[in-house]
């Protein structure tokens, strides 16, 4: 029977082959909900005072692990940070209250020869996954990277400039501003910079 996807987190789906055997293949599925989730994803900074069960954190780790990276190098690691250690990490940035208010922060570590672009993709994947399973999230900048590296006991040449505050949304969780995006005409061009789309 082809009833379950064996441990894969991506959109691998089960089809039946010519001999009616189960075949797992990547499928391009369409989903208005997924598109809406992308457009609606916002930084939320209020969290319920409730820990995240390990099973929930593991879903986020899977979303992180399955992110695409340059040449598939996956030069990253993720550190789940809680309790006093989270307080110490929060001291490494200037706008880290959301992290202080959240039960968990996920520190995104750029391992040697990793790319910041990959870390950005990682962050977005984790935030979209969090949204999909009913969690709030907020990116956090660790302005004092050296301090963050010391707190996290990173090996030489690994760096951590970003973390994501995560938790169940608080009753008052809402985007800081409604709207808040430049009009398309200001940011989208055709063929060359400045030529209207």
Ligand X SMILES: Cc1cc2nc3c(=O)[nH]c(=O)nc-3n(C[C@H](O)[C@H](O)[C@H](O)COP(=O)(O)O)c2cc1C
Q: Which two tokens stand for residue 155?
A: 């090996």
Look up residue 72 and give its DSSP letter: G
Nearer to ligand X, 98 or 114 (CB): 98
Of 48-107, binders to ligand X (CB under 6 A) are: 93, 95, 98
Nearer to ligand X, 13 or 87 (CB): 87
Q: Which two tokens stand for residue 27?
A: 């499928």
The mark string for 172-191 relative to ligand X (x by CB under 6 A, - otherwise) is ---xx---x-----------
Cβ atoms < 10 Å from Cβ of 127: 24
Euclidean distance between CA atoms 83 and 79, whole angstroms: 13
Query: Candidates 15-23, 40-48, 55-63, 129-137 — which segment interacts with ligand X by CB under 6 A?
Result: 40-48
C-alpha 151 chain-centroid distance: 21
Of 113-172, binders to ligand X (CB under 6 A) are: 138-141
Helix axis angle for 83-90 and 145-152, nearest 10°, is: 160
Of 5-34, binders to ligand X (CB under 6 A) are: none
- Per CB under 6 A, residues contacting ligand X are 42-43, 45, 93, 95, 98, 138-141, 175-176, 180
């Amino acid at each position: 029977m082809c009833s379950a996807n064996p441990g894969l987190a991506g959109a691998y789906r089960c089809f039946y082959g010519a001999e009616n055997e189960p075949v797992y293949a990547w499928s391009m599925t369409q989903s208005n909900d997924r598109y809406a989730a992308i457009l609606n994803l916002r930084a939320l900074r209020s969290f319920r005072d409730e820990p995240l069960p390990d099973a929930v954190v593991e879903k986020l780790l899977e979303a992180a692990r399955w992110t695409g990276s340059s040449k598939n190098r996956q030069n990253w690691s993720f550190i789940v940070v809680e309790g006093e250690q989270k307080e110490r990490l929060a001291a490494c940035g200037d706008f880290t209250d959301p992290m202080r208010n959240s039960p968990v922060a996920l520190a995104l570590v750029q391992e040697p020869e990793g790319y910041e672009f990959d870390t950005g993709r990682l962050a977005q994947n984790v935030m979209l996954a969090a949204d999909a399973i009913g969690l709030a999230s907020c990116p956090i900048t660790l302005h004092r990277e050296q301090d963050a590296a010391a707190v996290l006991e990173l090996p030489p040449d690994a760096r951590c400039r970003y973390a994501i505050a995560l938790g169940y949304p608080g009753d008052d969780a809402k985007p800081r501003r409604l709207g808040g995006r430049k009009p398309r005409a200001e940011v989208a061009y055709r063929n060359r910079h400045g030529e209207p789309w």
